[in-house]
Structures are given as structure tokens and as C-alpha cells.
Amino acid sequence: MIKTAGFSRFPLWIMLAPLVLGVLVWWLVWRGYAADFEAEVAAALPPGTQVSASGFPYRLETRIPDVDLAYSDAALRARLRAGEIAVNRVPWQKDRQVLNLTDPVAELALAPLSGATVRVAAKEAQGSLRLDGARIARLSAVWEAPTIKTGLFAQPVKAARFEAHLRETPSGNDMSAPRNPRLPTQAQLVLAGTGVRFGGGDPLTLALDLDITAGAPLVALSRWASGGTVELRTLMLADGTGEVARMVGTIVPDGSGALRIAGTIETVCPANARAALAGLPAVSERRVRKAEVIAFSGSLPGGIVAEASNPAVPPAPVRGQEPACPRFR
């Protein structure tokens, strides 16, 4: 009986030995990935910050408390603070990072441009970064219940949820091609939000899609300021009944530190749209049956002038069965 029991245990060790060896080999490989991961994260943090990776066997993760990062150069100032940042990635995918942030506050400013500042504060946020070499293939951020302040608007913007997606599309200016007044698109930005309130306005759904054009890849603000534009492909606002306004336009630097904007807004709430563009209080208004197209132009921040309504044209019929227009601000 003793010999039989000993013999029956022998095949179990034969099966376990490769498994144990495989786990040991993968742990050694994982530790190599982890060492690279720790070094890369530490390089982005203040000197002396301790970084320790966990997550074996399927991922790499590190948590950094009390983060305060800052960057500045001749044109850009940036700062990120958070109670904690957790960084995750798959060991063999060095170009893809996922970040979870607690109590984040992000600040950006383009010093040469008046009003080009933004501050986003939230209780929670998640970000992801995918690189293609040194190029940003996709940078995404999602904030829960953020408060957004920008120098372009007098009042803060609040949202139930807000997200931003940026990707670089570097391209040279092909001088052999037929002359095109619009320079190549160097970056694309998409913004989306739900429950978005501009100051004291009603909650709206927002969707913005824009292109940043320039004659060369955006390695410096001066590259964009020399003939570049921001093309508002669409800025859509909607409430519970559907779309209420859609804007297209172009933003250009005026050479003296301000931004010029010109475009049109198509809306079923023309009186409120004119009031919002002029920075005036919202008015009581019913939705019109046929959307009106309003041209506007001016400078940012402030100084936008909308095309006035034609007093010779009778007011458009309204949709009496639908709710009143939302307040834009």
C-alpha cells in the first residue's frame, strides 16, 4: 500500500513542475516589465518619488498619493494636482496607459493668448494615453461632475459628465498641391458632455468637434499662430426634446494676443442664442418651427456681435405644444 500511494503521487509532481516553472519564468519576465514601468512613471514625477509596481500576473499598476505636477515654457503653463493617481497598463503594451485620479485639478494656460486658460476640477476622473512614437495617437479624459472655468467665458461651466479626446495628425504643407487656403489639420479635439450648465443655464447635452490647422506639426504655439486656425466643424447643444442649436466657425489669432472668431449658429431659439452670444441674460422664448441661421463675429474673450434680426420679416411661427426654449446661460 505504501508503494502504491507513493507511486500515485509521482504523476502529480510531474504535472505541477512545469506549472511552477512557468509561473517562475513569467514572474521574472513580469519583473523586467515592472522595472521599466517604475522607471518611466518615476521620470514623470518629482525627483525622489517612490514608485512600486503591483498587479502580477496580468497588469502593471502603481498608486501615487498627493500628486502635484507642473510644466511651463515660453508659451504653455500646465499643472495637475490630485489626491491620488493610479497608473495601469498591460505589461507588453508600453504605448497605452490608463490613469484613475481622485480629486483632480488640471490647469492649462497659453500665456501669449488672452483668455486661453482652463481649469477643470472634479471628484473623480479617468484618463488614457496611447502613443505612436512621440506622437499622441489618442489622449482621452473623462470627468465626473466637473466644474470648468475658462478665461473665454465669465461664468463657470458645470456638467454631470464631461469628456475630451485629442489626437495629433501631423502633416506638412504640400507646396506641390493646388493652393488651398486652409492649412493641414495637425490635431483634432472632440468634447462631449451631459448635464452641461453654462453659468445659470439649463442642463444641456454638448458635442463639439474641431480641427487645429497649421503649416507644420504643433511643436510650438508659434507654429500655429503663423497662419493656423481652429476650425469648429460642429458645436451642438440639445435638451430633452432634441437639438436646439448647432454652430460652425473659424478661430484665428489676431497677431496681438487675442482670438478672432466668425461663424454661424443654426437654432430654433434665436432670441436666446443672440442673448448668449452677446453675454446678456436669457429671455423667455418658444421654439420656432423653422431653425434660423445667425451669422456672428468678434473677439474672444467677449466682444462677439451677432447678426440682428430683420424687423421687416415677421416673427417665425412657434411650436406651441413643445416646452419653452432652454436658457443657454
Residue range 16-42, pLDDT digits in tens: 777 788 888 888 998 999 999 999 999
- Largest separation between any pair of C-alpha atoms in the chain: 110
In the prediction, which pLDDT does 180 show? 58
Residue whose C-alpha cell is 462631449: 192
Beta bridge partners of 250: 231, 262
70 within a domain of the structure (yes/no) = yes
Mean per-residue pLDDT, 280-293:
91
Residue range 28-78, pLDDT digits in tens: 998 999 999 999 999 989 888 889 999 998 899 999 999 999 998 888 899
How far apart CA 227 and CA 221 sit, in angstroms, is: 11
Closest CA to 156 of 123, 120, 198: 198
Task: State yes or no: pLDDT of 198 exceeds 80.
Answer: yes
Alpha helices in the chain (DSSP H): 2-43, 221-225, 270-277
The one-letter amino acid at 301: P
Residue range 208-243, pLDDT digits in tens: 999 999 988 888 888 888 889 999 999 999 999 999
In the prediction, which pLDDT does 11 show? 67
Q: Domain range for residue 302?
A: 58-306
Residue range 260-275, pLDDT digits in tens: 999 999 999 999 999 9
In the prediction, which pLDDT does 112 show? 85
Question: For the chain, what is the domain count?
Answer: 1
Ranges assigned E (strand) in the chain: 60-72, 76-89, 96-102, 105-110, 117-121, 124-132, 135-144, 147-150, 157-158, 161-168, 185-198, 204-213, 229-239, 242-253, 259-267, 292-300, 304-306
Task: State yes or no: pLDDT of 249 exceeds 80.
Answer: yes
Task: State yes or no: pLDDT of 176 exceeds 50.
Answer: no
| Total Cβ atoms within 10 A of residue 47 | 6
In the prediction, which pLDDT does 208 show? 98
In the prediction, which pLDDT does 19 show? 79
In the prediction, which pLDDT does 1 show? 46
CA distances, 284 to each of 44, 139, 318, 323 (Å): 51, 40, 13, 11
2 within a domain of the structure (yes/no) = no
In the prediction, which pLDDT does 2 show? 47
12 within a domain of the structure (yes/no) = no
